[in-house]
Amino acid sequence: MIQRIGQDRDACVLSRLIRQFVDLVRRVGTKARDAGPAFDEWLLEAKGCGVRPFETFAAGLEQDSSAVHAALQTRWSNAQTEGQVTKLKLLKRSMYGRGNLDLLRRRLLLAA
């Protein structure tokens, strides 16, 4: 199965580009975290890869390139906050229409 995928030109191109992008994102927070120039090179290659959906994805990243550059150059992340908000929303939705704010508060404190 993997050999068949390896024979498809588009699959090989996408696999390589995706691995390069993952490597760029993983550099964040390390000593070699200035991934800005590498991202620009990757973006040029992705926009001309010949796979239309991936070229569209790259064009979207280019439109928001200032935010992508900022994310690649800083060590800060809001993942912890997003995780807590997601947990709160899950609890809130699970008891939709069955409780008040006091019950939600108790369930949130018990889940922590």
**36-80 tens-digit pLDDT:** 788 889 999 999 999 999 999 999 999 998 888 888 877 777 788
Confidence of residue 92 (pLDDT cuts 50, 70, 90): confident
Tokens, residue 73: 């150059």
Tokens, residue 112: 């922590």
d(CA 45, CA 32): 21
